[in-house]
Structure 1
């Protein structure tokens, strides 16, 4: 168990989970991206976190785990449209700050997952990293 400010957080994921393995490959392909464990879940970050794997929702006062979810920061203008998708939800704790969850265990479109990662990365990574991302994507599309 990891300790964070005196509170123990159990590991809440399986490192061999095939959905996590695929998400990890996508997330760590972004410039300067790294992974850490935050509150028992994998978190992908540069200076700031741009994605989490796993989350929860509060239903009738009880937290329900969404073990196989991608949690990303979204553009406020796109949030409502994303939440119309039955696979998306407002995650506990982070939802109030503009984050959404996507259930990866339900009809996962990995191109869509990469688009969500890209958008969240662009909102958190800073202009120099985003410029590197733009040149990397342009190079790969040729």
Structure 2
């Protein structure tokens, strides 16, 4: 049974994320587990997700407007110490971090672009990174 779609194609926050992610060389979008994912061909970003369950009595929160990304290992702990970021369910154990997003001025879109760029560089082939650096 396929996952239900958990996003709206006309979401303006998703449109902004798409603009940033798909500007990276060879980047594509595919729906996986009901959410948009960004790949090069490995996944470097996901739109929307949930926070890892804290304990049996404290459920994780769901963030429909968030970006999940592969954090630079040298920066991961600092990111998670910042209260804006969260440890995503399922992929957090593999180095991923989440950041809730909004269009109301609270989101630093330059920071989002930097985080997606850094995530892309964690998984992209060397020749694709060279192409990005040559731009």
Whether TM exceeds 0.5 here: the answer is yes
* Larger relative strand fraction: 1
TM-score by length of 2: 0.91
Aligned to 1:36: 30
Q: Choose between structure 1 and 2 for higher RCO, CA contacts under 8 A separated by at least 6 residues.
A: 2
Aligned to 1:140: none
Question: Secondary structure, in 3 states, of the residue corresponding to 2:78?
Answer: helix
Report deviation, 1:86: 1.5
2:32 and 2:55 map into 1 onto residues whose CA distance is: 25
Report deviation, 1:63: 4.6
Number of matched pairs:
130
Unaligned runs of 5+ in 2: none
Aligned to 2:100: 103
Q: Say whether 1:12 aligns with 2:10.
A: no
Matched ranges for 1:127-138 at <5 A = 127-136=126-135
User: Residue deviations 1:73-97, cap 9 Å, x none?
Assistant: 0111100111122210000000000
2:54 and 2:62 map into 1 onto residues whose CA distance is: 11
Report deviation, 1:8: 1.8
Question: Secondary structure, in 3 states, of the residue corresponding to 1:44?
Answer: strand
* Larger relative helix fraction: 1
**What's the C-alpha RMSD, in Å, of the aligned pairs?**
1.3
Q: Say whether 1:126 aligns with 2:125.
A: yes
Unaligned runs of 5+ in 1: 1-6, 137-142
TM-score by length of 1: 0.87
The one of 26, 30, 40 aligned to 2:20: 26
User: Residue deviations 1:82-141, cap 9 Å, x none?
Assistant: 1122210000000000000001138100000000000000011110000000011xxxxx
